Amino acid sequence: MNDNVLEIKNLLKDFPGVRAVNDVSFDIKRNTIHCLVGENGAGKSTLIKILTGAFTRTSGKIFLNGEEYSAHNPKHAGEQGISTLFQELNVVDQLTVEENLTLGIEDTKFGFLRKTNKIKKIIEVLKDIEPSIDPKERVSRLSVAKKQIIEIAKAVASDADVIIMDEPTAALSEGEIERLFKIIKKLREQNVTVIYISHRLDEIFELGDYVTVMRDGMHIGTKPLTEVKDRMDLIKMMIGKTVIECYEPRDDMSGEVVLKAKNITNHKLKDISFDVKKGEIVGFYGLVGAGKTELARAIYGADKYSGNIMFNGKKLGHNPGKTIDAGIALVPEERRTQGLFTLLTIKRNIPVMNMKKISRAGLINAASEKNVSKEYIETLSIKTDSMEKETAKLSGGNQQKVVFSKCLFADADLLILDEPTRGIDVGAKAEIYHIIRELAKEGKSIIFFSSELPEILNSCDRIFLLFEGEMRSELQNGDDIDNQSIIHICTGGN
């Protein structure tokens, strides 16, 4: 039998004005964990969409188990043995967990759902990954992380030769990631090949047998992970240069307090108090479920709370519109449903939080709208062939850059960033970190919520540690900070 489960030969994909996949050829060996990495816009998503039948290739050939392969749509791909877990959530909030798991594969009798062995298997996989999820619970009540776990369970339970996982851990906690990794390794033992896409390079080294690097639509190289020296070696392949991030102590901060939160309490938060100074980057770190998003939404006025939040001497309320008017903007955790109008173009999304800046007498100035969009596309290196492209058609990382552009154009004095680099590659992260620092130098204040400890340590002047809705510790960056102690505190230690 051929050692290769997949063979990709001279694959091309052209869109109007851009070649997204440029003569890509490489093989994927059977029963391995094959990692696919590259910056946003490198061609990874397009390649995966060709494999899953979402896109039709322009030219080239694909062989699956030695036979020429072509899929008309993701369902057809699944029938041939390729199952996919996509980066963006595709759950139905109005249905229960069980109904989501069985969507499209229902077996009914007299109109009632029958629990076949296939359905039982999916529910067992769900229990293995996250036992706390009740199959009868409505999905709308679950966190983003738990919604992601539902999709993981469905993909893992499919009887596929190849399972493609696109950023499966982006919203998962340390414990959930550990359980997922065990399942992925078990799949390899059960003769399943996993194509694993992640911007978290530590995961690549922990899981991968092989890694393929793409850049600007081209295949840069495929290597066994044992032949990749370290993270910097892989990053250099990805972006052609070395990116080193570290915290730079600052002496340009004002002592003026612009935001003061006192005794913030709600269904998740427990008596949280803190302040933010002008030009300061304040970080909140905690694992999934620590209360980061809930605190971000409370400050923004999207969630109700008791206590007081004062901004520039005025009390904030429970109204996001008034919060924006006060000079605060939010980059939300879930970009597609909360941060973008996905059916609108890039040009129409970017100015939406500050329309008065491009309008006169209630009419949009088309030239101003175009100039603003062009400026942010260039500043944030949004990879697109046109500002008229619908944001739904951008890669996940480029969608996040549009959200970021929208909030920057709001010209806010305080930016709330909730997981702003989720699903973004190392090069794009470096660009965003640079923008954040420049904004702070200009006197803008930043509240940075993240479940990635390195970016909090590299970017923030002060760091607050959260655990289950409680503020557990405050750290001044630049001091002697022990990473292990931080993890100890954020997992409930004292």
pLDDT for the residue numbered 263? 96
How far apart CA 347 and CA 382 sit, in angstroms, is 12
CA gap 287, 296 in Å, rounded: 15
Q: What is the DSSP string of 144-180?
A: HHHHHHHHHHHHHHS--SEEEEESTTTT--HHHHHHH
Paired tokens of 62: 């694909």
Contacts of 220 (CB under 8 A, 6+ apart): 38, 213, 214, 237, 238
Q: What are phi and psi of 279, to 5 degrees?
A: 75, 10
Position 423 scores a pLDDT of: 67
Q: What are 71's two structure tokens? A: 């899929």
User: Would you state the CATH architecture of domain 257-490?
Assistant: 3-Layer(aba) Sandwich (3.40)
C-alpha closest to that of 26 among 34, 16, 17: 34
The answer to whether residues 150 and 103 touch, using CB atoms and an 8 Å cutoff, is no
Q: How many CA atoms lie within 13 A of 415 on its CB side?
A: 30
* Residue 162: predicted pLDDT: 93
pLDDT at position 242 is: 54
Helix runs in 240-337, H state only: 292-300, 320-326
In this prediction, residue 1 carries a pLDDT of 58
Name the CATH code of domain 4-239 (choices 2.40.50.140, 3.30.1490.100, 3.40.50.300, 3.40.1830.10). Answer: 3.40.50.300
For residue 87, how far is the Cα from the chain centroid? 8
Q: How far apart are CA 85 and CA 52, in angstroms?
A: 10
Residue 288, pLDDT score: 64
- Domain range summary for the chain, segments of one domain joined by +: 4-239, 257-490
CA dihedral 406, 408, 413, 419 (to 10 degrees): 80
Tokens matching residue 374:
């062009």
* Phi, psi angle pair for 329, to nearest 5°: -125, 150
The whole-model pTM stands at: 0.59
pLDDT (tens, 9 = 90+) of the chain, 494 residues, equals 579 999 999 999 998 767 889 999 999 999 999 999 887 678 888 999 999 999 999 999 999 999 999 999 888 998 898 988 876 667 888 888 888 887 766 666 666 656 667 778 788 888 887 788 888 899 888 877 788 778 777 777 777 899 998 888 876 777 778 888 888 888 888 888 999 998 778 889 999 999 999 988 999 999 999 999 888 788 778 777 555 567 777 777 778 999 999 999 998 999 999 999 999 999 999 876 788 989 999 999 999 999 999 999 999 989 988 998 899 988 887 777 777 888 889 999 888 877 888 888 788 888 888 888 998 888 878 888 889 898 888 877 788 888 888 888 887 899 999 988 876 777 777 878 888 888 899 899 999 998 778 888 888 999 999 988 999 999 988 767 777 778 778 877 76
In the three-class reduction of DSSP (H, G, I as helix; E, B as strand; rest coil), residue 88 is classed as: coil
Contact 451, 394 (CB under 8 A): no
Q: Same CATH topology for 4-239 and 257-490?
A: yes
283: exposed, middle or buried (C-beta count within 10 Å: 0-12, 13-18, 19+)? buried
Structural tokens at position 198:
């992640």
Query: What size, in residues, is the chain?
Result: 494
**Contact call for residues 339 and 407 (beta carbons, < 8 A):** no
